[in-house]
């Protein structure tokens, strides 16, 4: 079994489909670049070993991690007095998007983040998703927490799909670290949700897989 298959077999299993077309978009669904061109940048030479799918997925992951950071920073402005979870995880997401930026540099792929302003995206699917999630998260504290959990479930699904599309070891390792981070973030959001007297149910992933993630006491939390 190669590295990619081993990682895929030990992480997220079968994934359930979500209800939102925006949430469904991502690597593995043919929408990893939101209709954007994946032409090579003029100032760098793209690694010839990378496929168009790998390039598209790297660009998508860069902005998807930025989306998580931006949503959490925005929701922290409204709900930060009630919980520190958004601010804390936003810091971690900054590390995640920087990790993908490193991969872009390493493989000579153009960075889609041309404007690092909160809430600004090159990928129009992610732009629409950001707007949708922020609007929902501002309606109530509980909705904001569920938005955070949904983002982490979506990240996990998309990361696994991207792992399945690459044989590049540095990319697999980086994506796997992002996946571990998303698991940790999901547990953090669910702890706050359950502290409100609610029982969390999976929004996008297979419920059994989410249960196993939430019950994993051996994980090192970010």
- Contact between residue 63 and residue 113 where contact means Cβ atoms under 8 Å apart: yes
Q: pTM of this prediction?
A: 0.83
**Count of CA atoms in the C-beta half-sphere (13 A) of 170:** 14
pLDDT at 144: 99
pLDDT higher than threshold 50 for residue 67: yes
Q: What is the mean pLDDT of residues 193-210?
A: 98
Spatial distance between the Cα atoms of 162 and 77, rounded to a whole number of angstroms: 32
**Cα distances (Å, whole numbers) of residue 195 to 25, 59, 171, 172:** 31, 36, 36, 35
Other C-beta atoms lying within 10 Å of the C-beta of residue 46: 18
Domains and their CATH numbers in the chain: 51-214 (1.20.1260.10)
Lowest mean pLDDT among 18-27, 46-55, 161-170: 18-27
pLDDT at residue 45, as a whole number: 72
Mean pLDDT over 135-158 rounds to: 98
Where does the pLDDT of residue 184 fall: very low under 50, low under 70, confident under 90, or very high at 90 and above? very high
Tokens representing 142 are: 């509980």
| Highest mean pLDDT (candidates 7-11, 13-17, 29-33, 91-95) | 91-95
DSSP state of 84: S
Residue 1 has pLDDT above 80, yes or no: no
Whether the predicted pLDDT of 31 surpasses 70: no
Distances (CA, A) of 167 to 44, 143, 175: 22, 38, 12
Length of the chain, in residues: 222
Digit-coded pLDDT (tens) for 90-102: 999 999 999 999 9
Q: Calculate the CA 8 to chain-centre distance.
A: 16
Closest to 172 in 3D by CA, of 26, 39, 90, 58? 58
**Residue with the two structure tokens 């070891």:** 169
pLDDT for 206 beyond 90: yes
Assign 203 to helix, strand or coil: coil
What's the chain's average pLDDT?
86
Tokens of 136: 């929902």
Q: Rounded to whole angstroms, how far apart are CA atoms 68 and 150?
A: 10
pLDDT at 42: 42
pLDDT of residue 26: 72
* pLDDT > 70: percent of the chain: 78
Q: What is the pLDDT of residue 25?
A: 64
Q: In this structure, what are the phi and psi dihedrals at residue 92, rounded to the nearest 5 degrees?
A: -65, -40
3-state secondary structure 103-115: HHHHHCCCCCCCC
Residue 43, token pair as written in the block: 């100032």
């Amino acid at each position: 079994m190669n590295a990619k298959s081993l990682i895929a077999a030990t992480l997220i299993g079968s994934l359930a489909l979500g209800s939102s077309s925006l949430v469904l978009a991502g690597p593995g669904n043919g929408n990893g670049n939101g209709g954007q061109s994946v032409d090579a940048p003029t100032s760098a030479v793209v690694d010839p070993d990378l496929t168009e799918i790998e390039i598209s997925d790297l660009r998508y992951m860069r902005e998807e991690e930025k989306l998580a950071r931006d949503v959490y920073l925005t929701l922290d402005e409204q709900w930060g007095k009630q919980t520190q979870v958004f601010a804390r995880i936003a810091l971690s997401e900054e590390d995640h998007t920087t990790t993908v930026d490193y991969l872009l540099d390493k493989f000579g792929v153009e960075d889609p983040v041309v404007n690092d302003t909160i809430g600004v995206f090159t990928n129009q699917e992610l732009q629409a998703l950001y707007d949708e999630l922020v609007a929902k998260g501002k309606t109530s504290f509980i909705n904001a927490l569920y938005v955070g959990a949904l983002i982490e479930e979506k990240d996990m699904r998309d990361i696994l799909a991207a792992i399945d599309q690459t044989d590049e070891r540095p990319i697999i390792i980086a994506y796997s670290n992002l996946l571990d981070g998303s698991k940790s973030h999901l547990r953090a959001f669910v702890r706050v949700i359950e502290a409100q007297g609610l029982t969390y149910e999976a929004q996008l992933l297979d419920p059994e897989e989410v249960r196993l993630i939430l019950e994993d006491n051996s994980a090192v939390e970010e």
